[in-house]
């Protein structure tokens, strides 16, 4: 295939019209249940009787007359595990080929759940949101008629607590801000003490690159900011651990000089390809160390960092928040326990189970967890997350004032380190069971 040429389409999944719905429905339910039964890392399923679950939800699935009803049954069944990284994605919402990229547009807004509100934390330049004069610190109270305070209240009796609750709310709102290209989103926005006002934004194509699909794992828009400021402190932020971003990440790290400092901002990064964490950390250490291990139903995989020539060894700050999940948590926890980096911000999501995607007979994509992750010190990240060395909260008032308290705290620490100690290589990882931050 010529480089740049669009790849041939994958064989289309069987359509419901070609086969009896009851056959497709039953086959889909059985496949989802079976994948969990065979692949879930905990053979006890956290105390859940998975055989009884099949009988109970199988009876409900048999009554489903369309895909929407079947999805609802499957999601309730998967919720019995109380684990992250279980999801059903409709095929018509997923992107595998460039021609499908209109399925996921953007209005140019990114929100975080702060102080019990959906707060704008980033506005894409020249986007519909920017042209509508929206700014960081603005609060969304309504998206397409959905009252966000009611959404938050609905989670009060659920398993979602703390950082995971904030992550779920932010993910839900951000998802509604990425509708199909040319589709409009209606928002109610409050700026400061001014009365709330309504506006309508039309979604546009993403301006940047997209990740490559990997098997049944779909493509997604990429965003990266990589710079070295005049004071010798570099800043790296990227929205996904996608192999396509390794080149610009490496290019920034190659520019760093002895005595420089580096900030890696993982706030809002939900994870991605796990091996990228090893690759990035190899450029940040002159000694081998561990990022932890992945425990599967049978067997274990250790994530060992192999130092690369010319690795940067200066002061390193990593920023996290409740939206930092999966591979972001592995990287932050591993660097923290190896005492290679100081972590700033808020506790991460605690959603760190390695997963796979599988196309279902209905055409939907099923994401399912296959392993548990533990830090080098033996702490499980799932449900716990990473606690920063230096907790720093972000508030809407900070964003309104154009102030990033987390970045400022990281820069202050790096400046102190640069003036009080020469850059040094990472020390050997601490013994198992030790941690710079208590669980």
Q: Which helix (H) or strand (E) holds 184?
A: strand 184-190
Domain that holds residue 198: 105-202
- Using CA atoms, how far apart are residues 265 and 92, in angstroms rounded to an integer? 32
Can you give the pLDDT at residue 2? 37
Q: Within a domain: residue 4?
A: no
Q: What is the mean pLDDT of residues 94-103?
A: 97
Same domain, 170 and 307: no
Q: pLDDT tens across 258-297, in order?
A: 999 999 999 999 999 999 999 999 999 999 999 999 999 9
Q: At what angle do helices 50-61 and 67-79 cross, to 10 degrees?
A: 160
pLDDT class of 419 with cuts at 50, 70, 90 = confident
Can you give the pLDDT at residue 1? 36
Q: pLDDT tens across 362-376, in order?
A: 999 999 999 999 999
| Alpha helices in 80-201, H assignment, sequence order | 128-131, 148-154, 162-176
- Using CA atoms, how far apart are residues 273 and 291, in angstroms rounded to an integer? 14
What burial class does residue 150 get, using C-beta atoms within 10 Å of its C-beta: 0-12 exposed, 13-18 middle, 19+ buried? exposed
Same domain, 160 and 262: no
Tokens 């520019």 sit at which residue?
255
Say if strands 371-374 and 289-296 run parallel, antiparallel, or are unpaired.
antiparallel
Can you give the pLDDT at residue 154? 78
Same domain, 251 and 337: yes
CATH of the domain at 404: 3.90.226.10
Can you give the pLDDT at residue 193? 87
* pTM to 2 decimal places: 0.89
Q: What angle do CA 422, 426, 430 make, to 5 degrees?
A: 130
Q: Is the pLDDT of residue 161 over 90?
A: no
Same domain, 288 and 239: yes
How many folded domains does the chain comprise? 3
- Torsion angle defined by CA atoms of residues 406, 408, 410 and 416, in that order, rounded to the nearest 10 degrees: -150
Same domain, 28 and 116: no
Handedness of CA 204, 267, 273, 262 (dihedral sign): positive
Q: Is the pLDDT of residue 226 over 90?
A: yes
Same domain, 273 and 166: no
Cβ contact 268:324 at 8 Å: yes
Can you give the pLDDT at residue 157? 64
202 versus 419: the higher-pLDDT residue is: 202
Q: pLDDT tens across 16-66, in order?
A: 456 899 999 999 999 999 999 999 999 999 999 999 999 999 999 999 999
- Using CA atoms, how far apart are residues 169 and 147, in angstroms rounded to an integer? 12
pLDDT class of 158 with cuts at 50, 70, 90 = low
Q: Within a domain: residue 11?
A: no
Same domain, 169 and 279: no
Same domain, 247 and 388: yes
CATH of the domain at 120: 2.30.42.10
Same domain, 246 and 386: yes
pLDDT class of 153 with cuts at 50, 70, 90 = confident
- Torsion angle defined by CA atoms of residues 152, 158, 162 and 164, in that order, rounded to the nearest 10 degrees: -90
Can you give the pLDDT at residue 421? 64
Q: Which helix (H) or strand (E) holds 60?
A: helix 50-61
């Amino acid at each position: 295939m010529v480089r740049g040429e669009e790849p041939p389409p994958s064989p289309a999944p069987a359509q419901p019209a070609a086969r009896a719905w009851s056959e497709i429905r039953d086959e889909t339910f059985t496949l989802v249940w079976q994948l969990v039964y065979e692949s879930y890392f905990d053979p006890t399923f956290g105390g859940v009787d998975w055989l009884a679950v099949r009988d109970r939800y199988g009876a409900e699935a048999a009554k489903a007359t369309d895909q929407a009803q079947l999805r609802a049954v499957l999601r309730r069944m998967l919720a019995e595990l109380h684990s992250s990284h279980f999801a059903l994605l409709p095929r018509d919402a997923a992107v595998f080929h460039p021609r499908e990229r209109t399925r996921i547009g953007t209005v140019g807004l990114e929100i975080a759940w702060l102080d019990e509100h959906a707060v704008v934390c980033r506005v894409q330049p020249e986007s519909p949101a920017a042209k509508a004069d929206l700014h960081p610190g603005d609060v969304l109270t309504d998206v397409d008629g959905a009252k966000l305070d009611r959404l938050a209240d609905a989670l009060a009796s659920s398993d979602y607590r703390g950082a995971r609750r904030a992550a779920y709310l932010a993910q839900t709102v951000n998802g509604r801000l990425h509708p199909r290209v040319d589709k409009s989103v209606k928002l109610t926005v409050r700026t400061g003490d001014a009365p709330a006002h309504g506006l309508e934004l039309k979604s546009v194509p993403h301006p940047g690159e997209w990740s490559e699909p990997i098997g049944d794992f779909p493509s997604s828009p990429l965003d990266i900011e990589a710079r070295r400021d005049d004071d010798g402190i570099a800043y790296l932020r990227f929205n996904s651990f996608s192999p396509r971003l390794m080149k610009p990440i490496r290019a920034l790290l190659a520019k760093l000089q002895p005595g420089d400092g580096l900030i890696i901002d993982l706030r809002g990064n939900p994870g991605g390809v796990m091996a990228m964490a090893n690759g990035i950390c190899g450029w940040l250490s002159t000694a081998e160390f561990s990022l932890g291990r992945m425990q599967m139903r049978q067997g274990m995989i250790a994530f060992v960092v192999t130092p690369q020539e010319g690795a940067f060894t200066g002061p390193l700050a990593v920023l996290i928040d409740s939206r930092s999940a999966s591979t972001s948590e592995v990287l932050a926890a591993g660097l923290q326990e190896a005492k290679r980096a100081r972590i700033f911000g808020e506790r991460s999501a605690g959603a760190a189970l390695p997963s796979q995607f599988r196309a279902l007979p209905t055409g939907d994509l099923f994401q399912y967890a296959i392993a548990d992750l533990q830090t080098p010190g033996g702490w499980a990240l799932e449900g716990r997350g990473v606690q920063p060395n230096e907790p720093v909260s972000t508030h809407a008032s900070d964003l309104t004032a154009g102030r990033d308290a987390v970045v400022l705290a990281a820069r202050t620490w790096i400046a102190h380190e640069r003036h009080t100690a020469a850059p040094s290589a990472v020390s050997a990882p601490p013994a198992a069971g030790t941690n710079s931050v208590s669980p």
